């Protein structure tokens, strides 16, 4: 609902907009959009396209804005992390140090690319919309906070990967 609050979006746009702070795929988003519409929290209009199928453009209703406002006054649930990397690392000892090292190096490469992408998006945001990014009444202000948080988390995980690789090198022949 927070994404639709900013501007009308397609389901595909919602998936893209979520990537920087709460990744989701289309199979999750489209049923949620349908439920929002069924509950009267969102409406949609069909946007005709040439040489492509028409698309639904979803918009938050006044009822949806009120529901979002009520939700913002509640306490957030504890975070849930589902990360296949961590599940694999938990059992990698069974294949030996090389498997652990492979997982850590793979994660490090992924995180380096991800951090570069996040930094580029953050920089584009603050360069193109500096006043908006400094205004706590503007949606872009919240976006900058989320980008800075994600960049910090990725940087911390990169430090942890380096530390873990160093530890592994000290205790094994990888």
Domain boundaries, given as residue ranges, for the chain = 2-72, 87-171
pLDDT of amino acid 19 = 82
Reply yes or no on domain 2-72 having CATH 1.10.275.10. Answer: no
Tell me which residue of 81, 58, 60, 83 sits closest to 71, measured CA to CA. 60
Whole-structure pTM value: 0.79
| Long-range CB pairs of 81-88, under 8 A, 24+ apart, other chains included | none
Tokens of 140: 């872009």
Show the beta-strand stretches assigned E in 48-111: 55-60
Whether residue 33 has pLDDT greater than 90: yes
pLDDT of amino acid 61 = 97
pLDDT in tens, 110-148: 999 999 999 999 999 999 999 999 999 999 999 999 999
Q: Is the dihedral of CA 30, 33, 34, 35 positive or negative?
A: positive
Q: Is the dihedral of CA 152, 158, 163, 164 positive or negative?
A: positive
pLDDT in tens, 92-120: 999 999 999 999 999 999 999 999 999 99
């Amino acid at each position: 609902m927070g994404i639709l609050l900013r501007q009308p979006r397609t389901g595909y746009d919602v998936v893209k907009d979520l990537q920087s702070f709460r990744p989701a795929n289309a199979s999750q988003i489209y049923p949620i959009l349908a439920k929002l519409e069924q509950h009267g929290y969102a409406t949609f209009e069909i946007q005709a396209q040439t040489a492509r199928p028409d698309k639904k453009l979803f918009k938050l209703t006044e009822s949806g804005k009120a529901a979002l406002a009520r939700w913002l006054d509640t306490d957030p649930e504890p975070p849930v992390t589902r990360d296949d990397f961590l599940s694999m690392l938990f059992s990698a000892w069974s294949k030996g140090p090389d498997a652990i090292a492979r997982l850590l190096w793979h994660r490090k490469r992924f995180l380096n690319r991800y951090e570069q992408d996040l930094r580029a998006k953050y920089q584009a945001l603050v360069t193109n919309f500096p006043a908006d990014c400094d205004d706590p009444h503007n949606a872009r202000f919240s976006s900058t906070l989320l980008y800075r948080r994600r960049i910090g988390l990725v940087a911390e995980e990169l430090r942890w990967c380096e530390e873990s690789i160093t530890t592994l090198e000290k205790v094994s022949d990888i």
